[in-house]
Structure 1
């Protein structure tokens, strides 16, 4: 850094005559110049330190999400990696709520977003056989903010016991997923075994590419698999063109529920593709519901997305006097608003509230 004396010793100073100047003005300017250079050097040092800090923070996260997978015998990304992790928190949950535009006034030409429904996540093969006790997480990241949306999340003391069918009980997403370019799925499952340390079971990253969707079919069932560590995991999902979000709540008004409830996407002829159905309540695993409780049925999942050319179809199976009754009904989707109706099936009377909302990739 130049001192006042060094500045005074320079032979030429731009804007000043060498033999005719006011010493007080010169001294003031020289001090200001020293201060300016000091601030510049401080700012340069601050930026250098900030860049170093950010580089280290980013590298620390990247080092943690690249692992050697013994099944495929190479290093793999185990988590989403396309962000600057010095400013992006890889563990932060998405705060974008469902039903964002339920009460909005919209224009008919308002654009609709493509979407995807995660139908199932299954262990289709296990190197350690079945059954296995599995815990961990499955996370979705969509085109709105790429933050965490849990589909499956269990700790070690709450393992899911998987038999040969190997299907995880999903409890998300809590809102519709928007598919502009990609939706990423992070899988990180471990197995709990008695007498030995827990082991990684399935771990890696799956992507759903929205850039290559066929525009000829509005709903298409697809599959992606992940071979990793000690298993092969299959994700089944539907891609949905020009979708709206459908959020639902079900109450038991009278009687009891001893059976199951599913939701799916039907065509306008009310033909339901069973491959696209999702179990949202199963009394065998989730418990029998009676009307003397709170009334609200705890659903595994409460959101799907659907295009306006299809119908949302609910199916209730409910046991009464040892006989299983079945009731199926459907609703035509809307861009916004809500529908409410009461349905009787078997020994139960149910109240359905279905809320419609547009989706937008912009925050």
Structure 2
């Protein structure tokens, strides 16, 4: 959904880390959904190229690109010497506070002001085995860096009124898994991160 009061769109991908091989292309294809697919209307379509900056430190930057239909601002982060973190979250005990929405997010220590939304919800979507289906589950983290995963319960998602929250930091690895527990009220969430090297491009 796209609201004019909130012009930021939440990405649900990528499902693997993006490796910069000069150049790498990002395709933006935005449509306004109609009642049927034939009634969908194009909002923006463009292709943006990015090249390796050669910088040895991670940094965040913005790009403003214009198509025939609209202007889009992209916020990107270039992660130096990174590994891939695949995140999964599972309810292991208790219940999410009744009547509360919430937010599960993550950020790296090096770019702490760039929060990545993993899932925003009005009602926590939990499978029979306790697994929570995240909207996004893969991030890049510097090989010698830290990743912080946070969960917040909110009384009113529109006003971002935080009631209670918890967060834990994970030290990056080249392989294996890391597991920590987050607690919101009586609800205990098991956060597991599977670490792997960023796939090389041939």
- Report the TM-score, using the length of structure 2 for normalisation: 0.83
How far is 1:220 from its partner? 0.5
| 1:322-351: CA deviation from partner (whole Å, max 9, x where unpaired) | 971121210110111111222222231001
Does residue 25 of structure 2 align to residue 184 of structure 1?
yes
Partner in structure 1 of residue 200 of structure 2: 361
Change (3 A) 1:361 1:235: same
Does residue 66 of structure 2 align to residue 223 of structure 1?
no
The residue matched to 1:294 in structure 2 has which SS?
A: coil
- Please say if residues 152 and 162 of structure 2, whose CA atoms lie closer than 8 Å, have aligned partners that are also in contact: no
Structure 2 unaligned segments of length 5 or more: list them. 156-160
After the TM superposition, list the runs of 4 or more consecutive aligned residues in structure 1 that deviate by more than 3 angstroms: none
How far is 1:193 from its partner? 6.2
Structure 2 Cα separation of the partners of residues 347 and 324 of structure 1: 13
| 1:280-327: CA deviation from partner (whole Å, max 9, x where unpaired) | 11123xx3245x84311111110001112321011111259x971121
Structure 1 Cα separation of the partners of residues 115 and 90 of structure 2: 20
Q: How does 1:123-134 map to 2 (within 5 A)?
A: none
Q: Which has the larger radius of gyration?
A: 1
Change (3 A) 1:342 1:198: closer
Q: 1:297 aligns with which of 112, 132, 143?
A: 132
CA RMSD of aligned residues (A): 2.5
Structure 1 unaligned segments of length 5 or more: list them. 1-159
- Please say if residues 324 and 346 of structure 1, whose CA atoms lie closer than 8 Å, have aligned partners that are also in contact: no
The residue matched to 1:162 in structure 2 has which SS?
A: coil
The residue matched to 1:161 in structure 2 has which SS?
A: coil
- Bigger helix share: 1
- Bigger strand share: 2
Structure 2 Cα separation of the partners of residues 300 and 242 of structure 1: 25
The residue matched to 1:331 in structure 2 has which SS?
A: strand
Change (3 A) 1:193 1:350: closer
Q: How does 1:200-349 map to 2 (within 5 A)?
A: 200-210=42-52, 212-215=53-56, 218-254=57-93, 255-256=95-96, 258-267=101-110, 273-274=112-113, 276-284=114-122, 287-289=123-125, 293-318=128-153, 324-349=163-188
How far is 1:266 from its partner? 0.9
Structure 2 Cα separation of the partners of residues 332 and 224 of structure 1: 30
